[in-house]
Homo-oligomer: A and B are copies of this chain.
Amino acid sequence: MTGEDADDEDFEEVVAAVGERIDPGERERERMREAVAALTERAEDAIADLPVAGDVIQVGSTARGTWISGDRDIDLFVRFPADVDREQLESYGLEVGHAVLPEGREEFAEHPYVTGEFDGFDVDLVPCYRLDSATDIKSAVDRTPFHTEYLDARLDADLAGEVRLFKQFLKGIGAYGSDLRTRGFSGYLTELLVVEYGSFRAVVEAAADDWHPPVRFDPEDHGTVEFDDPLVVIDPTDPERNVAAVCAARNVARLQHYARELLADPREDLFFPDPPEPLGEGGVRERVGSRATTPVALRFDAPDVVEDQLYPQLRKSLAGVRDECERRGFDALRTATFADDSAVLLVELEVAERPAVERHEGPPVHVRQHAEGFFGKYADDPSAYGPFIDGDRYVVEREREFETAAAFLESDALYDVALGVHVESALQDGYDVLVGSEVVRLADEFGEELATYFDPEP
């Protein structure tokens, strides 16, 4: 990578080739249109049978023409008047959903909704309120139609193509998606940034050169709230909302890094990278040996909750375990959490052992009552060295509770750490502690994650 950018021509060739791969063809668009039309008709028929008014609106990337070729998600929202109460809304919504997708099943996000297949597409039928303004919303789904309306008016076919390039680029670098595992760029955020800058290339050039987080955009110039996020894009439909609230600093920085890469050396593999070669037991063993660290891993059955619950809990638990290890003197170099059938909290330690004794400072000698209490407590403790005086204080060297990180992790003291609630109960059902080269046993299930961990890319 250099500060010099490559020729325009190279860049345009690359994005043209990428476009070939991701732009939906006419036949794909036609099939999508037909499916949406059929589903909408079914939904309108079902609404007509209800005692309230309602309409159907297509939302999401397939509504805005910004979907990547091959995506098969159709999102239809059924809107009801604001004076329908919530229970009624849910029951009407499910009724329409089942009428449209007789084979569909119910799921639950903000409301219950029906999801199912139709003609090869994955269809969600979601009830919401029809409101005058996005600031009146009763739940997050009510906001979605406003987003679609806002972007419908601003995204033409050309800009939709630019959005697809940006989305694919973010997918390639692993920063696409506002789910709480990825904490990246949502589709809506991607679209707003392309509308703001006018093209994929302009976004990339700005990210490479001009962004100094916190970066702030307010397309409608109506924001009323200060946000503490690295990227702030005030929702054009809601002055109090940051569309990029979930986007982690690391993903903003990674966009900046890879934007520079793309401009310096345009190439398709940034959009379509090969997944990392999984690391086998031997590879893990070799890396642990050459780093001379002591990785310790807690492995347990992954809690049965959705990813948007799981990953925040894993991260919280990991931070808690790391902090407590460090408080006890077991300094960490780096950490990671993985989840599949099992879940893993990995803390790679620089210091896995401490002496049998630890320094414990008492009060200043001149604070007579406290000082005498401290002295009396330890003077006859045969396991303590001291009390002696250091500066103006009593000090003892007393027995350390845990001499190794593994002993701490295997003890009930683990539960004094702030753990995610489902992680805590999963640990209580049992867990393994892997120490040092024992972590090679993770390679079977998490070879790809271990490759990313031990051979990190930006």
Contacts and interface: CB of A to CB of B under 8 A. Distances in A.
A140 interface: no
A131 to B, nearest CB: 37
Contact of A257 (B365, B390, B403): B365
B357 A329 contact: no
Contacts of A358: 333
A105 interface: no
Contact of A391 (B249, B366, B392, B454): B249
A209 interface: yes
Interface residues of A, number: 61
Contact of A389 (B257, B331, B387, B393): B257
A1 B365 contact: no
A256 interface: yes
Q: How many copies does the complex hold?
A: 2
A452 to B, nearest CB: 9
A254 interface: yes
A327 interface: no
A3 B250 contact: no
Nearest to A457: B388
A338 interface: no
B355 A391 contact: no
A275 B293 CA distance: 45
A350 interface: yes
Contact of A355 (B291, B372, B455): B291
A454 B385 contact: yes
Contact of A250 (B359, B391, B458): B391
A253 B365 contact: yes
Q: For chain A, what secondary structure do more than half of its interface residues adopt (helix, strand, loop), or is it mixed?
A: mixed
A351 interface: yes
A387 B212 CA distance: 20
A367 B256 CA distance: 10
A276 interface: no
Contacts of A359: 333-334
B366 A213 contact: yes
A287 B416 CA distance: 32
A329 B351 CA distance: 9
A456 B372 contact: no
Contact of A351 (B260, B354, B388, B392): B354
Most buried by B among A359, A365, A385, A386: A365
5 contacts: A1-B379, A254-B365, A333-B355, A350-B355, A394-B458
Given A1-B376, A291-B385, A292-B403, 16 more contacts: A3-B372, A211-B366, A212-B367, A250-B390, A253-B389, A254-B389, A257-B389, A291-B357, A292-B356, A292-B357, A329-B331, A329-B350, A334-B359, A334-B397, A385-B456, A386-B456
| Closest 3 A/B residue pairs (Cβ) | A388-B456, A253-B365, A292-B356
